[in-house]
Structure formats: structure tokens, C-alpha cells
Amino acid sequence: MVAVNAAREILRRLHDVMAGRTAAQAKLNQVVKIVADELGSEVASIYLLRDGMLELFATQGLAQSAVHVTRLSMGQGLVGTIARSREAMSLAEAKAHPDFAYRPETGEDDFHSFAGVPIVRRESAIGVLAVQHREPRDYAEVEIEALQTVAMVLSELIHGAGLVDDAQAARARAANSGPARLNGLKLVDGIARGQAVFHQPRVVIEHTVAEDTDAERERLVTAFRQMREQIDSMMGQAEFTGAGDHHDILETYKMFAYDEGWARRINEAIETGLTAEAAIERVQARTRSRMRSIDDPYLRERLTDLDDLANRLLRILSGQLSTAAQMGLQGDTILVARNLGPAELLEYDKRHLKGVVLEEGSLTAHVIIVARAMGVPVLGRVHELFAQVAEGDELIVDGGNGALLVRPAAAMIKSYQAMRVLKARQAEQWARLRDLPALSKDGHSIALMMNAGLAGDAAALDLTGADGIGLFRTEFQFLVSATLPRRERQQALYSQVLASAGARPVVFRTIDIGGDKSVPYLSGDNEDENPAMGWRALRLALGRSGLMKVQARALLQAAAGQTLRIMFPMISEPWEFAEARALVEAQKALIVRQGHALPTEIQYGAMIEVPALIETLDVLLPMVDFVSVGTNDLTQFLFAADRANPRLADRYDWLSPAILRVIRRIVRAARDADVPVTVCGEMGGRPLEALALMAIGVERLSITPAAIGPIKAMVRSANLAPLAEAMNLWLDAPGTNIRTQLQTTATLQGIALA
């Protein structure tokens, strides 16, 4: 039995070896001797990866003539099996195991029992450490753990000596793991290829053997304290962002972060002489191996959370705190994350970011809206993502099929390339429509505007031939900024957007912060239980009117000498609109007093995204110049279904009678009042949904730039009158599956639904 004392003794002796000035080979020879001594085994051997094969590099007990001669491929024999699975193995009777491969040159006939562990670096097996005993015996868990500890130290030694380089290890891992296909939910359409980069990179442990155990213990205490503080503050923010599953995960984090057992196990590992980092990794390796044998999906997920947390603790300890964005992307990248905020996504270098894969995610979460605007395909709700994908793996995101191809085989890469050509051809066809009107076959004209929010977005106006910007989300500037953007910066952005738009209209929406758009410097007074329905958007803006006044002045000045279009978000009752408009109007006097010019005209609009407002349209409509239906929020409030909650992501259909009837009601009321209506939610950017909207009388859409081409193609291939008639009948007959009906009719009509 190897008790803590013996483990400590092994590490003490390894420490001396590591510190010695002998050559790498001599060090390996010393290590096998120490292992055999301390474990009382007749044999101890080290196999290392060389040219894709596992080569016997050092042994105590087997024939020395086999060193650098005996070689096994990945998956071959017990050693190859351990390397391939990256799992420890122990057997009382090795020869009875189906994977046993007899190697006469080693002289191993006399040994019955066998135990081996992988030597791992950056999630790749770079070798195997094995012991053999003459007598058949079972190995105790502490013995396996002692071997694993030695393997960690060996990993440091091997890397330091340059015996196996990282690239070689990664290649071997990829070759040996083989391709995999994971399913997910298409959140932003498109295909992309690149290397997996984790948003929160895994920490690589550089030092395993401690110089000073007391100091390591203290480092751990400090790191735990910091981690607990972080979790507590994230819990606070989660109240604000209200992001569904996110909260559950934080609860689990919190449970583990305060779990005495976990901290104790890490401390025990430190007691044996490991650094705090190595001790965490040591404990985590055991958790991971247990994870693989658990069937219960709930428990597995919780253990993945613990893995995540261990990585956080490692990041704190090692000071490697930056995200992949801050470290900079190198080449074509597929970003891998559990979830992201819109601001986090915007930090990435657009030239290299080709795609995003998330374990969570939902269609109308703001990060997805941002990704859509950036033209970056996103696949969400990919289960087992972190279990299947390692950093550096080649990935293909196939949005159309809702699939992630991991380490794709050559044939898959070929079909990806074919898909790209096809997509490019389709894009060319859409580009050819750029200057043609969005006119249906039977002569109905649809205004196609685009949604925007960042300075660079306006360039898409010319590229797509959009009729203007129907929704400019001004809060994006606040989201990407570490501090509150001052008036000058706001004004500069608005001027720039207006200049790019030229004669085309731009509708500026005043800041809509809150819900899943959190801004740290404004979160002070946001302690809502349910932030989507809390102190957000216009409520926050009217409450902190200083903010709104500054924005109003920035808008008024930016639009001097031309028409200014302002729209207010999240209005629940008409008086809120009146108050917001009065607030803007009051700023005019100030601008004039300061000697600045005013816009020639100001048009005020209201977003319709809170169901209550629909009941008072008769009061609202006479007050406004235009309205815009925000289906993202309207749907979430109509169905009482959090738009950011991945579990609800595909539960409600935009083509359900409730939504279509409510929009039809708005359209009819607005038409009677002679007020133009736009639909600016994500719904309008999907061809079938847009067709449904047109069929209920919507004549203006504001959509993501990438959707302009496909939607225009759809409009130009549709005969609207018969569809409008059919739609009214379906909506009046409850129980009709409108999606199926519309799809069938559209196919029969030959409507282009890309």
C-alpha cells in the first residue's frame, strides 16, 4: 500500500531528479527506478510517443535491450489501449486481457499483474507509465493515484526536455480520436471551418512538484477565496441577465465552490508535495475518469460543471485569466464556449472568427443577434461539446444540417468545400437582386430595411441594397464599451451611420439595456428577480433620465439639418411614449441655446413588444409617426417564455395562431390609423415567417443584413393575393397547422424559400 507518506516520498525523490542536471534519458531511467522501488514492483516502464508510435524509453525490470526497440501503435496492446483511451488500467492477470500483446524481446513472461496510466499533456496522451508485478494482485486506488502523480511530473519533464512536442501529440490525438458528428440547433445559418479555440482556454500546468508545500496551501486558500467571490458576483449578475440554464449552472458552481470535500481532496494532494495547480489537476483527473463511467446525464452534467470550475480555479491560480479573445486568434477559428454574452463575442477579431459553437444558446438571445449581424454561423445546444472537442481540433460547422463535424475525414472536408461553392453561388444570385425591387409577382411592394447596431454595420446597406436601417440598436455601443460612452462618442457614431445611409432612412432606437443585455457600469440599480420584465429599456431610461437626455442631445445634433427618426423600446402604456417624446423635445431648446442646428423634422415611433400596449393602440396610434413590432420580446411575453432560455428555444412556433393573430390585429389597427408598421424582430428574417407576415398585411420588414437577399428572392417569387386569402382562413380556423399549410402552399407556388 502506498500511503500519503509514500506518495510524498516519491515526489521528494522526483523533485531531486527534476532538479538534477543529467540528460533526459538518465532522468527517465531514474524515474522508473524510483517508481519500482516505492511501489515494490518488479517492473516499471515508460513508453513515449515517437513518430506516432509508443516506444519503450526506459524500464526497470524488463530487458534493457528492448529499450528504443519495442514499439506499439496507438490502441495496440495494453499500453496502446491506455494511451488511446487516456484511462488508467489495472489487471491482476494481464495476459487474460483481450488487448494484451505479447512482446518476447522484453522478457515479460514472468509477470502476472499490470497497472498503467497515461502521460498526458494538453489533453493528448504523450506516453504511458506502467508497472508489473510477478504475483497476480489487485492494485489499490492509492497506487494508481501515485502512478498518476508520477505521470504528471513526467509530462512536465518530457515537455521540458523536448522529447515529445505539442504538435506531435495533438496530431496523434486527432488521428487516434477519429471523426465525430455532434448535433445542435442552427442559431445562425452558414457553414464554416476552422480550429477549435476555447473561449476560456484550458490551463496548461507547467510545474507539478512543489518547492514549498506551505506556500502552495496558502495559494490554494487565496484562489478559493477569489473564486468564491467571483461566483457570488456572477450570481448577482445572473439575477440581472436572467439567462435560463445559466442560473442552474451557477447554482452548481456555488455548491462545488463551497464544497469542503473538494477543497480537502486538493489539499491532500498538496500534502504529497504537488503544486496547487498539479493538485487540482490530480483531483480533476479522477473526477473526469469517474465522469466517463456515469450514465446518468444529470450527474454527468454536474461533473462537467465541476470540471469547468476546476479550470476557473486553475486560471485564478496561474494568473492565466484572459479569454481567447484577449490572447488573440491566430488563424481560422471556430470558437467553442458554454455560452457567451454579446459584448464577449464582439471582442473577437472578425477576420479570424469563422464560426461559434455553444453548449447552450437560443435563437433570439442578443449574442445570437450580434453573431447574425457579424455573419458568423452559430450552432447551439450541442451536448457533450467539451467531452468530444479538444482545443486545436479541426471543426466544420454545418448550420444547415444542424451539425458539428469534429476532426472531419477527408471526404467530409470535400463535401464541405462543395457546400461552400454552392453557398457562394447562391450568394451571387442574391447579390444580383441587390438593385431590383422587393416586388411580389402580383405587384405588392415590400420595404426591406436592415437591423444594425455597430459602426461597421452601415456598410451592409450598399452591399445588400437595403431600403434603410429600420432598427438601429443604440445599446450595442454601450455593450461593447467598458465605460459609459459619453455624448461625443454617441454623437460621432450616429453621425457616421447617417452619413453612410445618405438619403435612406435610419430609425434610431433609444437604449434598450437590461434583460440579457447587461452593462456592468449600469447594473448598480438592477436587482430584479426577473430582469426581462424588470427595470430595463425605457423604464431604466426614464428612471435615469440623465442618460436619456444625453442620448437625445447626441441624436438631435447628429441629425442636424435632416430628418431624425427616434423609436422607444419596451413601451407598456401610451403615457411612457408621451413622456419619452417630451423628454427629447425638451432637449431641443438646450441645443438651440447652445447655438447648434436642429433636425428639420423629428419622427417618433413606438416599439410594440409588450402585449399590454396592443390593448391601448387606439390611444397610442394617434400619438406616433410609426410603430415597429419587436417579435422577439413580444413572443417571449405572449408565451411567458424567456427568449434566452435554451430549454424553451424551440418550444413555441412563430407561425402559431396566437402570434399571427396578434400581429394581424396590430397591422389592421395601424392601417386604419394611417400609421406605418414595420416588423423588426428576428422572425422577419426567415423566409417562411416573412411570407406569413406579408400574408397578414405586413409591408415593411427590418431584418438582419444577410437575410435581405433570401427574403427578396422569396418576395419576388410569391403571388401574394391567394396566400393572404388562405392565411385569413387558416387564422380563423383554430387547430390548423399553419407552418405545414404555408410550407405546402409555398412549395406548390414555387416560392424560393432558401
What's the closest the beta carbon of residue 471 comes to ligand PEP, in angstroms? 6
Task: Give the nearer residue to ligand PEP in terms of CB position, either 64 or 656.
Answer: 656
Give the number of C-alpha atoms closer than 13 A to the C-alpha of residue 617, restricted to the C-beta side: 26
CB proximity list for 432: less than 8 A, separation 6 or greater: none
Per DSSP, the three-state class of 514 is: strand
CA 120 to chain centre: 26
Rg of the chain in Å (alpha carbons)? 31
Sole window of 37-45, 85-93, 295-303, 625-633 interacting with ligand PEP (rule: CB under 6 A): 625-633
Please tell me whether residue 81 binds ligand PEP under the rule CB under 6 A: no
Residue holding cell 524500464?
59
CB atoms within 10 A of CB 619: 14
List the one residue from 281, 609, 642, 689 that touches ligand PEP (CB under 6 A).
609
Strands 353-358 and 700-703: unpaired
Q: Which residue is nearest to Mg ion (CB)?
A: 633
Please tell me whether residue 642 binds ligand PEP under the rule CB under 6 A: no
List the one residue from 342, 630, 657, 687 that touches Mg ion (CB under 5 A).
630
Beta bridge partners of 29: none
What's the closest the beta carbon of residue 479 comes to ligand PEP, in angstroms? 11
Sole window of 60-68, 207-215, 234-242, 628-636 interacting with ligand PEP (rule: CB under 6 A): 628-636
Please tell me whether residue 514 binds Mg ion under the rule CB under 5 A: no
Please tell me whether residue 360 binds Mg ion under the rule CB under 5 A: no
Task: Give the nearer residue to ligand PEP in terms of CB position, either 67 or 613.
Answer: 613
Helix (H) or strand (E) holding 252: helix 245-257
- Helices marked H in 375-503 — which ranges? 385-388, 410-432, 459-464, 475-479, 487-501
- DSSP one-letter code for 457: G
Please tell me whether residue 632 binds ligand PEP under the rule CB under 6 A: yes
Do the Cβ atoms of 704 and 682 come closer than 8 Å?
yes
d(CA 724, CA 733): 14
What's the closest the beta carbon of residue 282 comes to ligand PEP, in angstroms? 46
Sort 545 into a burial class: Cβ within 10 Å, 0-12 / 13-18 / 19+.
middle
d(CA 367, CA 715): 28
Footprint (CB under 5 A) of Mg ion, residues 632-691: 633
What's the closest the beta carbon of residue 662 comes to ligand PEP, in angstroms? 13
List the one residue from 118, 534, 630, 709 that touches ligand PEP (CB under 6 A).
630
Cell of 642: 424567456
Residues in contact with Mg ion, counted by CB under 5 A, come to a total of 3
Footprint (CB under 6 A) of ligand PEP, residues 421-480: 471, 473
Task: Give the nearer residue to ligand PEP in terms of CB position, either 54 or 513.
Answer: 513
Task: Give the nearer residue to ligand PEP in terms of CB position, either 190 or 630.
Answer: 630
Please tell me whether residue 512 binds ligand PEP under the rule CB under 6 A: yes
Helix (H) or strand (E) holding 627: strand 626-629
Helix (H) or strand (E) holding 507: strand 506-509
Measure the CA dihedral 613/617/622/625, to 10°. Answer: 60
Q: Which does 551 bind (CB under 5 to 8 A by kind): ligand PEP, Mg ion, none?
A: none
Please tell me whether residue 341 binds Mg ion under the rule CB under 5 A: no
Cell of 699: 409591408
Q: Which residue is nearest to ligand PEP (CB)?
A: 630
Sole window of 14-22, 332-340, 370-378, 626-634 interacting with ligand PEP (rule: CB under 6 A): 626-634
Footprint (CB under 6 A) of ligand PEP, residues 673-732: 680-681
Q: In what order do the strands lie in the sheet with 353-358?
A: 180-183, 403-406, 394-398, 191-198, 333-337, 353-358, 378-380, 185-188
Task: Give the nearer residue to Mg ion in terms of CB position, either 301 or 633.
Answer: 633
SS (H, E, C) 387-415: HHCCCCCEEEEECCCCEEEECCCHHHHHH
CA 489 to chain centre: 29
Q: Which does 631 bind (CB under 5 to 8 A by kind): Mg ion, ligand PEP, none?
A: ligand PEP
**Binding mask 584-623 vs Mg ion (x if CB under 5 A, - otherwise)?**
-------------------------x--------------
Q: Which of 98, 91, 162, 101 is nearest to 126 (CA)?
A: 162
Q: Which does 394 bind (CB under 5 to 8 A by kind): ligand PEP, Mg ion, none?
A: none
Do the Cβ atoms of 155 and 163 come closer than 8 Å?
no
Sole window of 334-342, 434-442, 577-585, 627-635 interacting with ligand PEP (rule: CB under 6 A): 627-635
Sole window of 2-10, 126-134, 631-639, 703-711 interacting with ligand PEP (rule: CB under 6 A): 631-639
Q: Which of 672, 679, 746 is nearest to 715 (CA)?
A: 746
Site residues (CB under 5 A) for Mg ion? 609, 630, 633
Site residues (CB under 6 A) for ligand PEP? 369, 471, 473, 512, 609, 630-633, 680-681
